[in-house]
Structure 1
Amino acid sequence: MPSTTVDAPAPTPPRTSHARRWTGIGWGFIAKLALMMLVNAFGLAAILSAVNAEAWGIMTAAIVLLVAADWIYFSKRAVPLKYIFPGLVFLLVFQLFTMAYTGYVAFTNYGTGHNLSQEQAVDAVLIQNEKKVDGSPSYPLTIIQDRGTLGFAIVDGDVVKAGTAEQPLQEVPDATIEGGRATSVPGFEVIPTSDIYTNQQLQKDVVVLRVPVSDDADEGSIRTQDATTGAIYRSTMVWDEGAQTFTNVDTGVVYVADSSVGSFVAEDGSTLPVGWHVVVGFDNFVKAFTDKNYSEALLKVTAWTFAFAILTVLSSFFVGLILAIIFNDDRIRGRKIWRTLFILPYAFPAFMSALLWKGMLNRTYGVINDWFLFGLDVPWLSDPTMARVSVLMVNLWLSYPYWFLVCTGALQSLSKETMEASRIDGAGATRQFRSITLPLLLISTAPLAIASFAFNFNNFTIIWMLTGGGPPMADSNTGLGYTDLLISAIYKISGVQGGKADYGLASALSILVFIVVGVVSAIAFRQTKKLEEF
């Protein structure tokens, strides 16, 4: 019987459902796409904000970073950058940019009276020297807006005139007047007075708003103080853009724009209180060393900063070391309890501890004078010398637990065989400590001591919370005090307290502090290598 060959049926291709095809895209890709949409949205918002602020450098950086992010996360070749890029962006934004901007400000006169551009300074001078025009009537006034732009509508007789800061007053024929005030202004939205009284930002915007009376700036502008009535004001200063001069129409004094110092200067050397920021080179660094208002005070502050950092590290290290040696002895009972008690100051926030000590050291009702010194009147925080002693004492109380922990761990890591061998060789406790224990401890703790020095060199918290940098130096009008460190002095010079700000000088001092700490740390780290060789 002849054999018959039967062909096997062709395999049926598997069915692909819509759900499987959708899954084939990859949920990871979908999540990445959604995340990159958010990144691009925030990136575009940052670019538009930079454009509006005319910050072209920031705009360029934002564009570069956004394009780089899109290329990295949609490319299959830049796998390592997918993990590194976020850290690089944070490093650039929060570290390098901050340092670069601080360096830029250090070479400018940026500060009180010089925090505007020249165009903004001109507007500020004109506004600050405005006076109400003699004989100007008080017009009933209504606050209006056109697509978010605020304006005024005044009633002049039977006529309603409306305008904005960019559009001078013009008559509005079909406006409605009720109770002597405009209640409907075609082309504008009337803002109820109640809304103005309940919105602080709107109140500020209304008070600073000026609406020109006409195209001629000499005729003045309408301004208001109560959002219900307005009057015509005109500046006593006249700006000549071509000659770059201000002329006071009342006195005839001419102020010339001096771009080297960013001020409007008269022939007699007087200047207008408003200027603009310009690059001044190394003037801030020179000022820190030569200006008598700052040089002497900053020299004292610098000396105290070094003394404070060095004494704090040495005192806290030796107190912590002594306690660590004592409680490293197996013969002491309850060592765990004692160690817990000794590290308690380290467990509390430093600013709370400083405030607590500030109350206890109070000269009038502090418990230190009342309880422990039996009512003795000791000016812990008001006398220059005692204030510095108090700062060192409180910082010792806060710092020694750290070294207690570090030295305890270092002692427990020492080789027992080495100590036993030295004891067999006849070395006493003092010789063991001087020749073995201390050198070995210094090898492991020296880098931490350098870090502690850098920290205390900029220990703003203890100074500000305990003494505020005071008491003030009697022979200085800079506002600096006897316990100020360089970091707190920089804080005061920056004007954060509400005084006159000098951001340029503060930034210059910040750079100097950075250099000093860096140099000291580099030298100290180099010296630690000698300890390892020893």
Structure 2
Amino acid sequence: MSVTAPSRPPAPAAPQDSDAHGRRWRGPGWGFLAKLGVMALVNAFGVMAILSALRAESWVIFSVAVVLLVVADLVYFTKRALPLKYLLPGLVFLLVFQVFIFGYTAYIAFTNYGTGHAGSQEQAVEAALIQGERRVEGSPTYPLAVVENAGVLGFAVVGDGGVVQVGSADEPLADAPQAVVGDGGAPAEVPGWTVVSRAALISDQALQDEVVNLRVPVSDDPNDGSIRTRDGSSGAVYQSTLVWDAGAQSITDTSTGAVYTADDRGSFVSADGQRLPTGWYVNVGFDNFARLFADPVLAQTLLTVTVWTFAFAILSVVLPFALGLVLALIYNDARLKGRRFLRTLYILPYAFPAFMSALLFRGMFNAEFGVINDLFFFGANINWLGDPWLARGAVVWVNLWLTYPYYFLVCTGALQALPADTLEAASLDGAGRTRQLRSIILPLVLVATAPLLISSFAFSFNNFTVIYMFNNGGPAIPGAPYALGSTDILISAIYDISGVSGGAADYGLASALSIIVFAVVGLISAIAFRQTRKLEEFM
């Protein structure tokens, strides 16, 4: 007789909020929601950057932004790219703030980008025509209203036959058939635009200046002129005495008959060599690099600046290191009372902002009322900031005062890390303090501090703050271009050439000089690090 096994009771059905294994589903966690919120912001800014690049027709930035946004979404919404979740932010910052900036600087170095060559040829033509604008003789005065749309100002004018036209600086006049003309004859309502009231126009000086400088093209052809106003209530047609011929790539001055033809250097040049002040930027190859060596005035000035830069960088490392090491040796002696308090006093200059210290020393070295002359030179009228060599000595002193506490701290740490048994063995062998310092302490300290000394040299080579805040690179070198001075180092010379401080800007030349400085500092650092490794092997 067969026996039938009892059947098991059916398993209870899993709740609707549980999986097949009975694990309760609790929904997305706070971590996922936080990641979702962060990625939503990243995508919002990414799409905004993509649209801005697309509008500006910056195809390189557009492509890079699209790639970075897609990569970010793939990395943070998949489970297989765990290492990249941590590496991607650093890689993006490296790409944007290092690789891109260096690449863009290199690109500018091969162009004539600067004052007078800061835009495209289309923008240069528009600027030239604007500079030659005159009111058309016999041009009627049109009733006009100032209008605004999303922060963009424009003009609405009542033309021939009472037809209202509206436009902005970027959009030429176009008919506005549903516009309403007010009792005064000027447009009162313009669809899609807000009419700026006379009261708002009168009370806002900045708005008045913007309106007076506003030019609304009459048509797509720049030779047809533009509408301008002087009072905000009436306008007239202004045309340039210059006429642009796109086919011949030339601008003709109708008042003189001169013809300016576009050349391959981004300028409009006449037959007698005259140039229009506004040009456009083009690729000029290695011209900027060649100018650094071929232009005799510029080359001589930059040679002076380069020699001083090396001297300043070397002195800014050697002198503070020597002073810091001496102080560290003194205050590392356990027999010295109150050395902790004294160490604190010595590092105070390091805690004070460098730019403020430079400004204070600038006043102290003043020839007329500075305390340096009054207290230390019996009131003598020593022109510290006006004499080239005195100014250089003063800036070296200021930098010494600012940087020796750093080396004091570094050398103190290196001395405290020295092996006591080595010094004790040397003492037992009869080595005096001088021999120990020369043969043991100093070599070991140099091994520990050599990388810091190399990085300090690179920092001093580009120490813009002290030079600029102390005396702005002065005094001026006679006959030097770009207002270069006797205490200017290469980085401040680049700043002057770039025109940021005022005057004509030559970004192409400044970028070329930046590339050379980068190469020089990189080469010196590589050689110095190699020598450091040899020193470590020797020790």
TM-score interval for Structure 1 and Structure 2 normalised by the shorter chain: over 0.9
Give the match for residue 505 of structure 1: 509
- The alignment status of 1:65 with 2:65, answered yes or no, reads no
* Deviation at residue 4 of structure 1 after TM alignment: 12
- The alignment status of 1:338 with 2:342, answered yes or no, reads yes
Query: Does structure 2 conserve the Cα–Cα contact (< 8 Å) formed by 1:410 and 1:441?
Result: yes
Query: Does structure 2 conserve the Cα–Cα contact (< 8 Å) formed by 1:175 and 1:184?
Result: yes
Query: Does structure 2 conserve the Cα–Cα contact (< 8 Å) formed by 1:153 and 1:160?
Result: no
* Deviation at residue 422 of structure 1 after TM alignment: 1.4
- The alignment status of 1:440 with 2:444, answered yes or no, reads yes
One-letter code aligned to 2:349:
P
- Normalised by the size of structure 1, how large is the TM-score? 0.92
* Deviation at residue 141 of structure 1 after TM alignment: 2.3
Work out the CA distance in 1 between the residues paired with 2:453 and 2:140.
73
Give the match for residue 81 of structure 1: 84
Alignment equivalent of 1:275, drawn from 264, 274, 279: 279
Give the match for residue 414 of structure 2: 410
Give the match for residue 456 of structure 2: 452
Work out the CA distance in 1 between the residues paired with 2:425 and 2:342.
30
Would the alpha carbon gap of residues 337 and 149 (structure 1) be closer, same or farther in structure 2, given more than 3 Å must change?
A: closer
One-letter code aligned to 2:386:
S
SS in 2 for 1:498: coil
* Deviation at residue 146 of structure 1 after TM alignment: 6.4
- The alignment status of 1:119 with 2:125, answered yes or no, reads no
- Residue identity (%): 59
Could you give the per-residue CA deviations for residues 249-290 of structure 1, whole angstroms, max 9, x where no partner exists?
Answer: 0111111111x2111111111111111111111111111111
Would the alpha carbon gap of residues 62 and 80 (structure 1) be closer, same or farther in structure 2, given more than 3 Å must change?
A: same
SS in 1 for 2:252: strand
Would the alpha carbon gap of residues 31 and 187 (structure 1) be closer, same or farther in structure 2, given more than 3 Å must change?
A: closer
Paired residues in the alignment total 531
One-letter code aligned to 1:341:
L
After the TM superposition, which residues 122-521 of structure 1 pair with which residues of structure 2 at under 5 Å, given as runs? 122-145=125-148, 150-154=153-157, 159=162, 161-165=164-168, 166-168=171-173, 175-179=180-184, 181-185=186-190, 188-196=193-201, 203=208, 206-213=211-218, 220-258=225-263, 260-521=264-525
One-letter code aligned to 2:299:
S
Work out the CA distance in 2 between the residues paired with 1:8 and 1:22.
28
Work out the CA distance in 2 between the residues paired with 1:340 and 1:151.
63
* Deviation at residue 215 of structure 1 after TM alignment: 7.6
Would the alpha carbon gap of residues 219 and 345 (structure 1) be closer, same or farther in structure 2, given more than 3 Å must change?
A: closer
SS in 1 for 2:327: helix
Query: Does structure 2 conserve the Cα–Cα contact (< 8 Å) formed by 1:154 and 1:182?
Result: yes
* Deviation at residue 205 of structure 1 after TM alignment: 5.2
SS in 2 for 1:152: strand
Could you give the per-residue CA deviations for residues 462-508 of structure 1, whole angstroms, max 9, x where no partner exists?
Answer: 01110100011123242000000111110111111121110001111
Query: Does structure 1 conserve the Cα–Cα contact (< 8 Å) formed by 2:164 and 2:187?
Result: no
One-letter code aligned to 1:67:
V
Would the alpha carbon gap of residues 311 and 336 (structure 1) be closer, same or farther in structure 2, given more than 3 Å must change?
A: same
Could you give the per-residue CA deviations for residues 328-365 of structure 1, whole angstroms, max 9, x where no partner exists?
Answer: 11221111111111111111111111111111111111
Give the match for residue 99 of structure 1: 102
One-letter code aligned to 2:66:
I
SS in 1 for 2:147: strand
Question: Structure 2, unaligned stretches of length 5 or more?
Answer: none
SS in 2 for 1:234: strand
Work out the CA distance in 1 between the residues paired with 2:174 and 2:68.
46
* Deviation at residue 7 of structure 1 after TM alignment: 6.1
Deviates more, 1:199-208 or 1:306-315: 199-208
Work out the CA distance in 2 between the residues paired with 1:191 and 1:333.
76
Work out the CA distance in 2 between the residues paired with 1:146 and 1:467.
47
Deviates more, 1:439-448 or 1:479-488: 439-448
SS in 1 for 2:409: helix
RMSD across aligned positions (CA) = 2.7
Query: Does structure 2 conserve the Cα–Cα contact (< 8 Å) formed by 1:159 and 1:171?
Result: no
Would the alpha carbon gap of residues 264 and 21 (structure 1) be closer, same or farther in structure 2, given more than 3 Å must change?
A: farther
Give the match for residue 44 of structure 1: 47
Work out the CA distance in 2 between the residues paired with 1:81 and 1:358.
50
Work out the CA distance in 2 between the residues paired with 1:239 and 1:404.
67
Would the alpha carbon gap of residues 137 and 21 (structure 1) be closer, same or farther in structure 2, given more than 3 Å must change?
A: farther
Would the alpha carbon gap of residues 51 and 195 (structure 1) be closer, same or farther in structure 2, given more than 3 Å must change?
A: farther
One-letter code aligned to 2:387:
D
Deviates more, 1:491-500 or 1:3-12: 3-12
* Deviation at residue 16 of structure 1 after TM alignment: 4.5
Question: Structure 1, unaligned stretches of length 5 or more?
Answer: none
One-letter code aligned to 2:215:
R
Query: Does structure 1 conserve the Cα–Cα contact (< 8 Å) formed by 2:126 and 2:222?
Result: no
Query: Does structure 2 conserve the Cα–Cα contact (< 8 Å) formed by 1:155 and 1:161?
Result: yes
Query: Does structure 2 conserve the Cα–Cα contact (< 8 Å) formed by 1:108 and 1:504?
Result: yes
* Deviation at residue 213 of structure 1 after TM alignment: 4.7
Could you give the per-residue CA deviations for residues 167-208 of structure 1, whole angstroms, max 9, x where no partner exists?
Answer: 447596974333454434567542223444566775565344
Work out the CA distance in 1 between the residues paired with 2:303 and 2:26.
70
Could you give the per-residue CA deviations for residues 19-71 of structure 1, whole angstroms, max 9, x where no partner exists?
Answer: x9662444433333333222222111111000001000000011111111111
Deviates more, 1:143-152 or 1:106-115: 143-152
Could you give the per-residue CA deviations for residues 316-336 of structure 1, whole angstroms, max 9, x where no partner exists?
Answer: 111111111111112211111
SS in 2 for 1:164: strand
Work out the CA distance in 2 between the residues paired with 1:186 and 1:457.
60
* Deviation at residue 156 of structure 1 after TM alignment: 6.4
Query: Does structure 2 conserve the Cα–Cα contact (< 8 Å) formed by 1:141 and 1:228?
Result: yes
